[in-house]
Amino acid sequence: MGATVLVLREEDSARRTADLLRRRGHAPVCLPLERIEATGEPPPPPPGAWSGFCITSGHAVAPLAARFASDPRPVFAVGEASARAALDAGFPAVLAGRGAAEDLGAEVLAHIGAGAGPLLYAAGEPRTGTLEAGLRAVGLGFRAWEVYRTVALEPGAEAFATSGGARANAVLVLSVGQATGLLRLFHRLPGTDPGGLLFLCLSPRIAAALGPLGAGRTRVPAAPRLEALLDLLDA
């Protein structure tokens, strides 16, 4: 029998994740804890200065494509999902990383070399700064261009009840923001017992953000990919 899985992503991403869960025989329950908004900020000048682009989320693809449609310069994506989004948007040269932002700097360096010009990082806000630290560590120049922001949502008891969240026996936690949002959710719902939940966290850093809430009840995949995380449900 499949699991009932609480999905915390923003609505569009939650629908896609729900479809993946259903195809695997699980029942998704969606309770978005975030909303994505475009900033509308123009890229820093000059547009021809960049040797390539970096993205750590599919949410950055539409703003990047709007300003640099079909640009032949390489797009370095943190993982397979963001790489697919960039390819679907018409970028012809897309390289997918292994899924960890901290490793992307070394992967970019191996491709373009130390003498390349600066990169343009199409970023979100807030963010952890992990990619920036990785690029600095290998000596690559870059500028961060904030193209979207993640806005925290604070659903209450009625929204939780309507979503069916109380039926869930597992929850996908795909970012530190979702982890902290989940902590706030249970703080607002003192009558809700999360003791039966299995926390499926995309990375050790995300699992750590849950603190005592996830103690002994977290699972982290060997590779930070959604498909690998969902495999843990089937194990």
Q: In a 3-state reduction of DSSP, which class is residue 200? A: strand
Among residues of the chain, what percentage have pLDDT more than 70? 100
| CA distance readout (Å), 201 to 100, 123, 143 | 14, 22, 30
Tens of pLDDT, residue by residue over 81-137, are 999 999 999 999 999 999 889 999 999 999 999 888 999 999 999 998 999 999 999
Strand partners, 123: 146
Fill in the amino acid letter for 38: A
Taken in order of first residue, the domains within the chain and their CATH numbers are 4-33+153-234 (3.40.50.10090), 37-150 (3.40.50.10090)
Above 80 in pLDDT, residue 49?
A: yes
Nearest alpha carbon to residue 82 among 60, 63, 102, 101? 60
Handedness of CA 97, 11, 5, 189 (dihedral sign): positive
What's the CA angle centered on 106, arms 103 and 112, to 5 degrees? 135
Handedness of CA 68, 144, 83, 174 (dihedral sign): negative
Q: Are strands 75-77 and 52-55 parallel, antiparallel or unpaired?
A: parallel
pLDDT for the residue 37: 96
Task: Judge whether 192 and 74 are in contact, CB under 8 Å.
Answer: no
What's the CA angle centered on 32, arms 26 and 37, to 5 degrees? 135
Helix/strand/coil percent split, the chain, to 5: 45, 20, 35
CB neighbours of residue 166 within 10 Å = 13
pLDDT for the residue 189: 86
What would the mean pLDDT of 48-74 be, rounded to a whole number?
Answer: 95
Model confidence at 195, in pLDDT bands (50, 70, 90)?
Answer: confident
Above 80 in pLDDT, residue 193?
A: no
Largest CA distance in the chain: 58
